[in-house]
Amino acid sequence: MIGFACAKHFPSRNHGERRDVTTPDLIILHYTAMSGAEVALERLCSSEHEVSAHYLIANDGEVFQLVSEDRRAWHAGKSSWQGTYDINSRSIGIELDNAGNHPFSFLQIRSLIHLCKDIQTRWSIGPHAVLGHSDIALGRKADPGRRFDWEGLARLGVGVWPRNVPRRSVSERDFLKAASHIGYDVSGGLSSVLDAVRLRFAPSRTGPLSAADCALIDALEQAFVIDPSAKTA
Instruction: Look up residue 153 and give its DSSP letter.
Output: H
What is the dihedral sign for C-alpha 163, 24, 18, 76? negative
Task: Give the domains, in start order, of the chain with CATH numbers.
Answer: 8-154 (3.40.80.10), 172-225 (no CATH)
Name the pTM for this structure: 0.95
Q: Which among 109, 10, 9, 114 has a CA at the least distance from the CA of 60?
A: 109
CB < 8 Å & 24+ apart, contacts of 2-7 = 2/68, 2/69, 2/70, 2/122, 3/54, 3/55, 3/65, 3/68, 3/69, 4/55, 4/63, 4/65, 4/115, 4/118, 4/119, 5/118, 6/63, 6/114, 7/55, 7/63, 7/64, 7/65, 7/115
- Other C-beta atoms closer than 10 Å to the C-beta of 97 total 25
List the pLDDT tens digit at each of the 233 positions of the chain.
999 999 999 999 999 999 999 899 999 999 999 999 999 999 999 999 999 999 999 999 999 999 999 999 999 999 999 999 999 999 999 999 999 989 999 999 999 999 999 999 999 999 999 999 999 999 999 999 999 999 999 999 999 999 877 778 999 999 999 999 999 999 999 999 999 999 999 999 999 999 999 999 999 998 887 544 343 33
Instruction: Look up residue 229 and give its DSSP letter.
Output: G
Alpha helix (H) ranges present in 55-189? 87-90, 106-123, 133-136, 150-154, 172-182
pLDDT at position 2, please? 95
**CB-hemisphere CA count at 13 Å for 44?**
33
8 A C-beta contact, residue 98 and residue 59: yes
* φ/ψ (deg, to 5) at 78: -70, 115
- Looking at the DSSP bridge assignments, the partners of residue 63 are 57
